[in-house]
Amino acid sequence: MNLLQFFAAHSAEIMRSALEHIRMVGIAMLLATAAGIPLGILATRWRGLRAPVLGISNIIQTIPSLALFGFLLPVPWLADRASRLAITALALYSLLPIVRNTYAGITGVDPAVREVGKGMGMTDRQLLFRVELPLAMSTILAGIRVATVIAVGVATIAAAIGAGGLGEFVFRGVAMVDNQFILAGAIPAALLALAADFSLGLVQKSLQRHN
């Protein structure tokens, strides 16, 4: 049986896994963005927070992904459901690029532009929302883009703790020494990563146009 026939025979199953995969990554990215951007902003506002915020997200990033899933297993509420645990791990893993790029994007705004805003009578809040964040947005989006691509890859490992996703095919294939199973997980995962990279790239480009 060649690969195409294999894909056709398992199409429903692949589709279900891919949707599971997308759901996991999507929710994780929403969480990571919702936490990462405010953390990055806080780090620019209070100098004391800079080192701990960047440091901790850096440390999380250095933990091997499989180990991170393992570390979270004993956590009470999280471990009730495998997908819940996988989403948390992915979100933690995606934090660093988002926090770091938010921080870099805001501190990278030309100090003269910031001073003009201040000189025109903007409050710190207005300066943040009307000047700094819009100007930092393409850098922040670059961070989200990198984080998403990494998360699509890392999410395949979530199958190891039973959270489903395209990783199931990969693990099954490895166990059965069957390349077709491995590819049935790996190819859609790669395509997903490329699609995410491409579409977020388009958004980023449209934001960059005027800066």
Partner 1 sequence: MTRFPADPMTRSQAWVLCSNALHCMTTPDRNIAIEFLDVTYRTADGRPLISNLNLRVFTGETLVLLGRSGSGKTTTLKLINRLLVCHEGQVIVESKSTAAWDPIRLRRHIGYAIQEVGLFPHITVERNVALVPQLEGWEPGKIQSRVEELLTLVGLSPPEFRHRYPHQLSGGQRQRVGLGRALAADPPILLMDEPFGALDPVTRADIQREFKSLQQRLNKTVVFVTHDVREAMLLGTRIAVLEKGRLQGIYSPAEFLQSNDPVVSEYSGVLRSEMDFLQHLNKVIQ
Distance of closest approach, residue 134 Cβ to partner 1, in angstroms: 5
Restricting to residues 39-98, which ones interact with partner 1 according to CB under 8 A?
A: none
Distance of closest approach, residue 121 Cβ to partner 1, in angstroms: 4
Contacts of 24 (CB under 8 A, 6+ apart): 83, 86, 87, 90, 155, 158, 163, 164, 165
Contacts of 129 (CB under 8 A, 6+ apart): none
Choices 52-60, 86-94, 112-120, 176-184 (CB under 8 A): range interacting with partner 1: 112-120
Between CA 189 and CA 196 the distance in angstroms is: 11
Q: Which helix (DSSP H) or strand (DSSP E) does residue 157 occupy?
A: none
Q: Where are the alpha helices (DSSP H) in the chain?
A: 3-9, 11-45, 47-62, 65-72, 82-107, 111-119, 124-126, 133-154, 167-176, 179-208
84 vs 114, beta carbon nearer partner 1: 114
Distance of closest approach, residue 44 Cβ to partner 1, in angstroms: 18
Distance of closest approach, residue 147 Cβ to partner 1, in angstroms: 23
- Residue 210 makes contact with partner 1 by CB under 8 A: yes
Residue 109 structure tokens: 């705004």
Using CB under 8 A, pick the residue from 117, 167, 173, 185 that binds partner 1. 117
- Residue 120 makes contact with partner 1 by CB under 8 A: yes
Measured at the CA of 83, the angle between CA 79 and CA 84, to 5 degrees, comes to 55
- Residue 10 makes contact with partner 1 by CB under 8 A: no
Distance of closest approach, residue 36 Cβ to partner 1, in angstroms: 22
Instruction: Write out the residues near partner 1 by the rule CB under 8 A.
Output: 110, 112-113, 115-123, 126, 130-131, 134-135, 210-211
